[in-house]
Structure 1
C-alpha cells in the first residue's frame, strides 16, 4: 500500500494542478514539492541510514563511464527530438489548440522563461532522484532489478499522459508515451548498471532541452 502511494503520488499532484487547477505553475508547485519532499524526508527526517549511505543509495556517486554514456544518450535524444520536431511538428501539433491550451494552463507571458528553466534544470534532477534514485532502490529491495526498472518506468510514464494527451494531436498523443517509457527504461538501466544517477540526470536534462528547443523554434 505504501509503495502504491509513492508510485501514484506524482500523478495525483500533476492531476490536481493541471486538470483541476488548470495551471502549470500550480502543477509545478504540487508536483515538484512531492518529488523533493519524499526523498528529503527519507534523508533528513527518518534517517534510517547514515547520510552518506542514503546518498549512495540514491545514486549520488561519480562514475566516469556513467557520465560519458549519459551524455552520449542525452545528445542523441536531443538530436532525435529536434529532428522530429522539425519534420513532424505540423502533424503532431495543432498550433491553434496548443496555443489555447497553454494560455489556459498559464504557460504564457512573463512566467514562460522561468517555467522553461525549471523544466530544463530542475525537472530532470527531481524526477531522476525520485524515480531512479529513491523508488528504484526501494523497489529493488528483495526483488529483481529488472522488476524495479520496469515499474518505476511505467509509473513515471503514467503522469506524462496528463500532459501529452492534451498537447499532441490524436492519435499521436497516446503513442508519445512510448518514448517516455523507453527513456525511463534507459535511465533506470544506467542507474543500476553503473551505480550512479549522474548520467541519467545529464541525459534527462539534454532530452528536456530538446523538447523545449522544439517548443521555442516551432511552436511558440
Structure 2
C-alpha cells in the first residue's frame, strides 16, 4: 500500500492542482513539494542519513559516459521537438483554446517567465531524483531492474495525461503520452546502467527546453 501511494502521489497532486484548483502555480507547489518532501522526510528525517549518503544512494554522482549519453539523447530530443513543433504545431494545438486554457490555469502574465524557469531548472532535477533516484532506491532488491524501469516509466507517464490531454488537440493528445513513456524508459535505462542520475537530468533539461522553445516560438 505504501508503494502504491508513492507511485500515485504525484498524480494526485497534479489532479488536485490542475483539475480542482485550476492553477499552475498551486500545482507546482503541491507537485514539487511532494517530489522533494517525500524523499527528504524518508531518507533525511526518518532514516537520519547524511546529505552525502542520500545523494550517493539516489545516484547524484558523476559518470562521464552517462553525461555523454545525457547530452546526446537530450540534444536529439531537443531538435526533434523543435522540428515537430515547426511542422505540426497547427495540427497538434488549437492556439486560441491553448491560450485560454493557460490563462485559466494562471500560466499567464508576469508569472510566465518564473513558471518556465521552474520547468527548466527545478522540474528535471526533482522528477529524476524522485522517479529514477528515490524510487529506484526504494524498489531495489524488491523488483527486477526491468520491472523498476517499467513501473517508474508508467507512473511517471500517468500524471502527464492530466496536462497533455487538455493541451493538445484530439486525437494527438492521446498519442503524445508515448514519447513521455519512452523518455522515462530511456532515462531509467541510463540510470540503471551507470548508477548515476546526472545524464538523465541533463537529457531531461534539454527535452524540457525543446518543449518550452516550441511554446515560445510557435504558440505564445
Structural RMSD (CA): 1.0
1:109 aligns to what SS in structure 2? Answer: coil
Aligned to 2:177: 177
- Within 5 Å, give how 1:2-151 maps onto structure 2: 2-47=2-47, 49=49, 51-151=51-151
CA distance in 2, matches of 1:57, 1:199: 16
CA distance in 2, matches of 1:126, 1:70: 16
CA distance in 2, matches of 1:30, 1:67: 30
Q: How many residues align?
A: 220
CA distance in 1, matches of 2:44, 2:142: 24
CA distance in 1, matches of 2:57, 2:10: 21
Contact in 1 for aligned 2:59/2:195 (Cα 8 Å):
yes
* Residue 27 of structure 1: how far off its partner (Å): 0.4
Aligned to 1:155: 155
TM-score, normalising length from structure 2?
0.97
Point out where structure 2 has 5 or more consecutive residues left out of the alignment: none
Point out where structure 1 has 5 or more consecutive residues left out of the alignment: none
CA distance in 2, matches of 1:97, 1:148: 38
* Residue 108 of structure 1: how far off its partner (Å): 0.4
CA distance in 1, matches of 2:54, 2:144: 20
* Residue 48 of structure 1: how far off its partner (Å): 5.6
Contact in 1 for aligned 2:44/2:50 (Cα 8 Å):
no
